[in-house]
Amino acid sequence: MANPPQQTYIPSRVIKTDFPLIDNDPHFKRVVGYARPSDYLHGTIAAAGGPGLLWTMEKFAPSQVGRGGFARAMRLAGVIGAIGGFLYFYQRSCLRFYGMSENAREVELDMQEMVAKVKAGEPLYGESKLSPHLQGVAARQSRYSALFFAALPWFNFVNHSQHGIDTAKYYVRAEQELEAERAAGRDSS
């Protein structure tokens, strides 16, 4: 019987950006959780754009669709607008994870979250029920996926450890904070 193939980890390509990379494949919950109020505002405006434009066109050039036709068109425009608004909101938040827009707030939130997990002894990116091979497949499928949202909306719902960054910085920071806490405890006694 032949030996199973060795599992190899292929490091992901890191794109050079003006801001630091936080995560090149952020989990859906992190993207939504780290979103800024401006993301919600932009997404809401984008969602209202479709029905708003349809209503404006109907006022200036009536379609004469008859009873109930315009209401159905407005509902459809509302659904399409809501989907588009959510994708725009999500993409704006993802671009900060990728380091493609200003992300100082998110860098600090990420550091706090991950250092807390290190101190608590939890896995940085959560537990996964998938095999390492399938985690790698999922990571390769959704890495930088927000850049292709116009063609295919794709989200990361898988916990895995392949995020394109060196996680040692979290352990170093956690050790520094623990040393500072120990020193403060010695000074107070």
| 133 is a domain residue | yes
pLDDT digits (tens, 9 = 90+) for 90-138: 999 999 999 999 999 999 999 999 999 999 999 999 899 999 889 889 9
Q: What pLDDT was estimated at residue 9?
A: 60
- d(Cα 163, Cα 136) in Å, to the nearest integer? 10
pTM assigned to the model: 0.85
The total number of residues shown for the chain amounts to 189
Res 2: pLDDT = 47
Residue 120, domain member (yes or no): yes
What's the structural domain count of the chain? 1
Flag residues of the chain having pLDDT under 70: 1-11, 188-189
CA distance 124 to 115: 9
The CA distance from 43 to 90, in Å, is: 8
Q: Which domain range does residue 85 map to?
A: 28-188
Exposed e or buried b per residue across 140-155, where buried means at least 16 C-beta atoms within 10 angstroms of its C-beta: eebbbbbeebeeeeeb
| Residues 37, 40, 42, 45, Cα dihedral to 10° | -130
Q: Is 15 inside any structural domain?
A: no
**What per-residue confidence (pLDDT) applies to 8?**
57
